[in-house]
């Protein structure tokens, strides 16, 4: 039996879920026959679209006013009816998660009726839209904000990779509940994975709060950390917690109920972004991303573990991830869990050739537990999917992930015209892979099982304010 699952059972926890949004959605509510903008449409937009379509929210335009939305009515109706927006690639009939970004059938019908009636405004349009503030966080008001060093990305720049640090100093030790990355350039930041390094107070006399960075050259073993000034005064490598923050395109932060995944921070600490990836830039911009930190008074009760299947993970990909040109290929990866676990969050990860992704567990008695199905993979939406309640996977169950890749010209995201052979790049030390290389990963955040977990809710009260009338 392999105990790999236990060796990665470190106290990391993933970013943070919960977001501004869909909680106003009563599935039993009926469509409004003759809706008006201020009363019926604006609240739907503010709750379900504005989380992204606002200043710095990552979407290409801001929903600003009744007049503008009326002008966009055709595209708006199309993306809503086709369920392209809000983006939620997981099949909700296969498994369901917290904060599904999805309109109800009644909401869609209401928007259809509004457009059919000629988009009546109501008496007081824009009151709610005017209250929408620029994007700051998907989790609420942070207790501490740290800034990363700025990175200038000239026009036409290719993929770039960095190691980056954000040092912090606290007045006293604190329990950390969640850490969230907020990219300054959400369209260019492709990946951020951060570890937390704690320094016992006496172990670093000189402690600079200046953020640092080192640019990495893919394929070169230049992951030298000396310039980042991370070691303790005695030259030792300090204690670190892995993956306390993760960002991928479209990600919303994850926050668990009190006591789960919480960890203790020393007064002096550094967050290290160990694989900060910017995609190619079409215009010259400067990124200055920030890290939001959330404290709690509730001490850690249960540490989360992280199980990674596929690329660089505990399980082999079969057949190996080599995708010939003009082919659609299917690959699987499986892992048998050596102990009872409770799954909290899933994160499927593929790159641009991804076509679909499915994962499930087969229990020793042959029953299947659905985990996630993404029938149409979209590189832009790589959420961390947190279950509404913990999902127990009994010892001896086999978790399988299946991914289909499309390396034909019919795939509009195919970066190669004509297509060429694409594969994983293990020579990059497993990280720093370009978007045009492929990956097949399935990352599971879990706890060791405790009786009653299957009834334990993972929903936390929203700290985001959605403007309401």
In the complex, the residues that contact ligand HEC under the rule CB under 6 A are 48-49, 51-53, 58-60, 75-76, 79-80, 85-87, 101, 103, 250, 380
User: DSSP 3-state assignment of 113?
Assistant: helix
Measured from the CB atom, the residue of 48 and 198 that comes closer to ligand HEC is: 48
Q: Nearest approach, Cβ of 185 to ligand HEC (angstroms)?
A: 13
Q: Nearest approach, Cβ of 186 to ligand HEC (angstroms)?
A: 8
Measured from the CB atom, the residue of 85 and 166 that comes closer to ligand HEC is: 85
Q: Among 345, 237, 337, 259, which residue's Cα sits nearest to residue 303? A: 259
Q: CA-CA distance, 96 to 85, in Å (whole number)? A: 18
Residues whose CB is less than 8 angstroms from the CB of residue 116 and which lie 6 or more positions away in sequence, other chains included: none
Max Cα-Cα span within the chain: 73
Q: Nearest approach, Cβ of 17 to ligand HEC (angstroms)?
A: 13
Residues whose CB is less than 8 angstroms from the CB of residue 25 and which lie 6 or more positions away in sequence, other chains included: 103, 104, 107
Measured from the CB atom, the residue of 157 and 382 that comes closer to ligand HEC is: 382
Phi, psi of 138, rounded to the nearest 5 degrees:
-95, 0
Residues 333, 309 contacting (CB under 8 angstroms): yes
Q: Nearest approach, Cβ of 417 to ligand HEC (angstroms)?
A: 19
Q: Nearest approach, Cβ of 57 to ligand HEC (angstroms)?
A: 7
Q: Nearest approach, Cβ of 286 to ligand HEC (angstroms)?
A: 20
Q: Nearest approach, Cβ of 15 to ligand HEC (angstroms)?
A: 15
Residue 284: C-alpha distances to residues 147, 152, 188, 277, 292 (Å)? 20, 7, 11, 17, 26
Cβ atoms < 10 Å from Cβ of 427: 10
Query: HSE of 316 in the Cβ direction (CA atoms, 13 Å)?
Result: 4
Please identify which residue in the block is written with the tokens 């190619």.
Answer: 280
Measured from the CB atom, the residue of 233 and 465 that comes closer to ligand HEC is: 465
Q: CA-CA distance, 111 to 119, in Å (whole number)? A: 9
Measured from the CB atom, the residue of 52 and 179 that comes closer to ligand HEC is: 52
Please identify which residue in the block is written with the tokens 């993970």.
Answer: 313
Measured from the CB atom, the residue of 43 and 167 that comes closer to ligand HEC is: 43
Q: Nearest approach, Cβ of 82 to ligand HEC (angstroms)?
A: 10
| Paired tokens of 249 | 């395109």
| Paired tokens of 18 | 């919960």
Q: CA-CA distance, 84 to 235, in Å (whole number)? A: 52
Q: Nearest approach, Cβ of 62 to ligand HEC (angstroms)?
A: 11
Measured from the CB atom, the residue of 101 and 268 that comes closer to ligand HEC is: 101
Q: Among 275, 43, 246, 291, which residue's Cα sits nearest to residue 146? A: 291
Run of H or E residues at 78: helix 73-81
Q: CA-CA distance, 87 to 378, in Å (whole number)? A: 9
Measured from the CB atom, the residue of 45 and 433 that comes closer to ligand HEC is: 45
Measured from the CB atom, the residue of 15 and 238 that comes closer to ligand HEC is: 15
Measured from the CB atom, the residue of 378 and 459 that comes closer to ligand HEC is: 378
Beta strand 354-362 with 341-350 is: unpaired
Q: Nearest approach, Cβ of 285 to ligand HEC (angstroms)?
A: 16
């Amino acid at each position: 039996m392999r105990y790999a699952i236990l060796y990665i059972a470190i106290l990391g926890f993933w970013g943070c879920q919960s977001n501004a949004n869909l909680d106003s959605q009563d599935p039993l509510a009926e469509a409004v026959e003759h809706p008006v903008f201020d009363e019926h449409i604006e609240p739907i937009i503010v709750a379900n679209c504005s989380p992204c379509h606002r200043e710095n929210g990552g979407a290409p335009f801001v929903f600003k006013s009744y007049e503008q939305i009326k002008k966009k009515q055709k595209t708006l109706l199309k993306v809503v009816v086709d369920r392209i927006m809000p983006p939620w690639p997981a099949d909700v009939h296969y498994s369901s998660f917290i904060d599904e970004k999805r309109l109800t059938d009644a909401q869609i019908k209401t928007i259809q009726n509004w457009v059919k009636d000629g988009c009546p405004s109501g008496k007081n349009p824009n009151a709610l839209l005017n209250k929408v503030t620029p994007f700051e966080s998907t989790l609420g008001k942070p207790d501490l904000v740290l800034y990363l060093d700025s990175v200038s990305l000239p026009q036409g720049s290719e993929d770039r990779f960095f190691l980056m640090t954000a040092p912090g100093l606290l007045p006293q030790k604190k329990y950390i509940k969640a850490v969230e990355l907020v990219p300054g350039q959400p369209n260019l930041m492709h990946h951020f994975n951060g570890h937390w390094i704690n320094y016992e107070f006496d172990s670093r006399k000189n402690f600079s709060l200046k953020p640092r960075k080192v640019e990495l050259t893919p394929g070169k073993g230049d992951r030298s950390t000396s310039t980042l000034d991370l070691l303790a005064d005695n030259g030792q490598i300090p204690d670190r917690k892995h993956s306390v923050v993760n960002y991928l395109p479209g990600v919303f932060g994850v926050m668990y109920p009190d006591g789960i995944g919480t960890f203790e921070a020393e007064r002096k600490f550094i967050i290290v972004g160990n694989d900060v990836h910017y995609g190619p830039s079409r215009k010259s911009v400067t990124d200055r991303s920030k890290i939001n930190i959330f404290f709690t008074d509730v001490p850690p009760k249960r540490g989360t573990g992280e199980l990674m299947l596929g690329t660089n993970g505990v399980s082999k990909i079969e057949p190996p991830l080599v995708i010939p040109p003009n082919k659609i290929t299917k690959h699987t990866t499986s892992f048998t869990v050596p102990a009872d676990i409770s799954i909290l969050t899933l994160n499927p990860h593929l790159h641009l050739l991804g076509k679909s992704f499915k994962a499930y567990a087969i229990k020793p008695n042959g029953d299947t537990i659905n985990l996630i199905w993404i029938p149409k993979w979209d590189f832009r939406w790589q959420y961390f999917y947190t279950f509404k309640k913990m999902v127990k996977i009994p010892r001896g169950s086999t978790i399988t992930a299946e991914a289909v890749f499309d390396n034909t010209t019919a795939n509009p995201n195919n970066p190669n015209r004509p297509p060429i052979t694409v594969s994983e790049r293990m020579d990059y030390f497993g990280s720093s892979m370009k978007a045009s290389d492929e990956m097949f990963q399935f990352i599971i955040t879990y706890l060791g099982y405790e009786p009653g977990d299957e009834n334990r809710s993972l929903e936390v009260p929203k700290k985001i304010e959605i403007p309401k009338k």
